[in-house]
Chains A and B, each alone.
Chain A
Amino acid sequence: MLKIYERLWQVNWAEQWQYRANLLMYLLYDLVSPVVYLAVWITIANSQGSVDGLTANDFITYYLTLLIVDQLTNEITIHILAYKIQDGTLSSELLRPVHPILTSSLVYNLASKVLSFIVLLPVWLVLCLLFRPDYSSVSLGSFLLTLPAVLLGFAIAFLLGAAITCLAFWTTRVYAISDFYSGLVLIFSGQFVPLQLMPPFIQDVARFLPFQMFRYVPIQIVLNKLPPNQILQDFAIGIAWFVVALLLFRLTWREGIKRFSAVGA
Chain B
Amino acid sequence: MRLFQLLSAFFKVNLQIAVAYRMDTFVNILLNLLWLGWELLGLSIIFSNTPSLGGWSLGELIALLGIFRLVNALMAALIWPNTENFNAAVRDGTLDYTLLQPVDSMFLVTFSRMVIWHAWDMVLATVLIVVGVRMTGSGVTAPNLVSFLFLSVSGTVILYSLWIVLIAATFWFVKFDNNVTILQALLDTGRYPSTVYPTWLRLIVTFLVPIAVATTVPLQALRGDLTGWQVLLFLGIGAASFLVASRVWKAGVRKYSGASA
A residues in contact (CB < 8 Å) with B: 21-22, 25-26, 28-29, 31-33, 35-36, 39-40, 43-44, 47-48, 51-52, 130-131, 173, 176, 179-180, 183, 186-187, 192-193, 197-199
Contact = CB atoms under 8 A, between A and B. Distances in A.
Contact of A25 (B45, B182, B189): B182
A28 B45 contact: no
Contact of B49 (A29, A44, A180): A44
A32 B185 contact: yes
B132 to A, nearest CB: 17
Q: Looking at chain A's contact residues, is the secondary structure mostly helix, strand, loop, or mixed?
A: helix
Given A39-B198, A131-B198, 4 more contacts: A35-B201, A36-B189, A47-B50, A52-B49
A234 B91 CA distance: 50
Contacts of A187: 38, 41
Nearest to B177: A22
A172 B196 CA distance: 42
Contacts of A35: 201
A206 B54 CA distance: 30
Contacts of A179: 31
Contacts of A43: 53-54, 196
B45 A199 contact: yes
A45 to B, nearest CB: 9
Contacts of B182: 25, 28
Given A43-B54, A51-B50, A186-B38, A176 B185 contact: no
Given A36-B191, A39-B198, A28 B181 contact: yes
| Best-buried of A40, A47, A193 by chain B (most CB within 10 Å) | A40
Nearest to A28: B185
B42 A192 contact: yes
A101 to B, nearest CB: 25
Interface string B13-47: 00000000001100110010011001001100110
Interface in B41-78: 41-42, 45-46, 48-50, 53-54
Given A25-B181, A173-B24, A44 B197 contact: no
B49 A51 contact: yes
A179 B38 CA distance: 13
Contacts of B53: 40, 43-44
Nearest to B196: A43
B109 to A, nearest CB: 22
B50 A36 contact: no
Contacts of A21: 178
Interface of B: 23-24, 27-28, 31, 34-35, 38, 41-42, 45-46, 48-50, 53-54, 178, 181-182, 184-186, 188-189, 191-192, 196-198, 200-201
Contacts of A31: 185
Nearest to A187: B38
Given A29-B184, A39-B192, A183 B38 contact: yes
Contacts of A198: 45
B31 A176 contact: yes
A29 B184 CA distance: 8
A192 B41 CA distance: 11
Given A22-B178, A43-B196, A32 B188 contact: yes
B10 to A, nearest CB: 26
A25 B185 contact: yes
A127 to B, nearest CB: 10
A63 to B, nearest CB: 13
Interchain residue pairs A-B with the least CB separation, the first 4: A28-B185, A25-B181, A43-B196, A44-B50
16 contacts: A21-B178, A22-B178, A28-B182, A29-B181, A39-B192, A40-B192, A43-B196, A44-B49, A48-B50, A51-B50, A130-B198, A173-B23, A176-B28, A183-B34, A183-B38, A192-B42
A43 B54 CA distance: 6
A32 B189 contact: yes
B27 A173 contact: yes
